[in-house]
Amino acid sequence: MLLYAALLLVGLVLGGAALNVVSASIGIGLLPAFPGSDWPFLIKNFIADTVLWMIVFGMAIFGVSSLRERRRRRRLPGVALPSGRPLNDVRVVAALTAYNDALSIGDAVRDFKGRAGVEAVIVVDNNSSDGTAVCATDAGARVARETRQGYGYACMRGLREALNTGAEVIVLSEGDCTFSGRDIARMVLFLEDADMVVGNRITPGMVDRRSQMDTFFVWGNQLGAKLLQLRFWDWRFMGKMRISDLGCTFRAIRREALAEIIDELRVGGNHFSPHMIMVSLRKGHTVVEVPVRFQPRVGESKGARNLVSAFSIGIAMFWHILTFPLKVKPQPVVPNSVSAARPAQGG
Ligand SMILES: Nc1nc2c(ncn2[C@@H]2O[C@H](COP(=O)(O)OP(=O)(O)OP(=O)(O)O)[C@@H](O)[C@H]2O)c(=O)[nH]1
Ligand SMILES: [Mg+2]
């Protein structure tokens, strides 16, 4: 059925293209004009025809894929959605990244630590020289030092440290007071149906107008997010995840989901956020986005601090999305480790 539809479409498009070639050939004088036709008319005709065929082609693809999906759906067994996995009295551990964030880290730790369910806050100090670690400890956080410089390295370290605590939910955020610990509750609610919940900083009414999210950032993040949806395409939902903010650090993940992906996280630079989302989607996780509050930063920015750095981070993110492998390369098998891992055979 699909094959016949595709053949019909190809036939239509080729037929249309042939007609257009004839029109254009008449237009440039290669073929004799039909009586009464003139050059501008034929050019307009050519453009109109091309646009029309593109629309027809798009609608036909949409129609065929919808019909196909409807047929497939009828054959599916009754229950589609798994029942939610409740998270009662959940233990949350939050990891906050920090690089010379002495001005903000104390308040950020107190904010996150005071929230229901938050058992501990871990601050990842990424080679700070301004007393960030002391401020974090004074505010009640445990400090982990990450010596490899980079936002992604700090995130990975925080996630691993938090996972090792045994908490059911791991939250990742920044120590610059841009995010509010209040949003953890919202995220945990959605984690009953999802493996990971990512913040969305582009919801009108929830974003301070003096924050980093100006028109350039909002549009750029949306554009990148749609590219990610295209890369992880799904006909029904236009992507395996509905995402509209590509670079939000703030997220919560169930421990079993994090345990599945932690060894596949690789990116040490500023494009870590979409990287983690893609690794999770590649694993088949359910990832959802929820609106979060977003405030102006306290202290000096180290990431997207001006248009040039924002642009270069954006390019790195886009390139990473385009080149991200959708399948994990099989690890080379080391013979000794295989035999060591096998249970001893009897006899
Ligand atoms: N850029 C950067 N950030 C780091 C690094 N190590 C840790 N971080 C932390 O990662 C977070 C992101 O950096 P920010 O300076 O907030 O950059 P941003 O979030 O793009 O922009 P603003 O919040 O508006 O400044 C902050 O909490 C940093 O302290 C690093 O090597 N580079
Ligand atoms: Mg920040």
Could you tell me the distance, in angstroms and rounded to a whole number, from the CA of residue 178 to the centre of ligand 2?
6
Residue with CA at minimum distance from ligand 1 atom 13? 303
Residue 163's pLDDT is 98
Ligand index nearest the alpha carbon of residue 103:
1
Pocket of ligand 1 (CB under 6 A): 97-99, 101, 126, 149-151, 154, 174-176, 178, 212, 270, 297, 301-304
Residue with CA at minimum distance from ligand 1 atom 5? 151
Ligand index nearest the alpha carbon of residue 300:
1
Q: Which pTM was predicted?
A: 0.82
> How many Cβ atoms are within 10 Å of 166's Cβ, its own excluded?
10
Please state the atom number of ligand 1 nearest to the C-alpha of residue 124. Answer: 7
Could you tell me the distance, in angstroms and rounded to a whole number, from the CA of residue 175 to the centre of ligand 1?
8
Residue 307's pLDDT is 87
What is the side-by-side order of every strand in the sheet holding 251-254? 142-145, 118-125, 92-98, 169-174, 251-254, 196-200, 287-291
Residue 345's pLDDT is 41
Residue 213's pLDDT is 95
Q: Tens-of-pLDDT digits for all 347 residues of the chain?
A: 556 666 776 776 777 677 777 777 777 778 777 666 666 666 666 667 777 888 888 888 888 888 888 888 878 776 566 667 888 789 999 999 999 999 999 999 999 999 999 999 999 999 999 999 999 999 999 999 999 999 999 999 999 999 999 999 999 999 999 999 999 999 999 999 999 999 999 999 999 999 999 999 999 999 999 999 999 999 889 999 999 999 999 999 999 999 999 999 999 999 999 999 999 999 999 999 999 999 999 999 988 888 899 999 999 999 999 999 999 877 777 666 544 444 444 33
> How far is 274 from 267, CA to CA, in rounded Å?
10
Residue 235's pLDDT is 84
Could you tell me the distance, in angstroms and rounded to a whole number, from the CA of residue 289 to the centre of ligand 2?
18
Kindly provide the b/e burial profile for residues 11-22, where b requires at least 16 CB atoms within 10 angstroms of the residue's own CB.
eeeeebeeebee
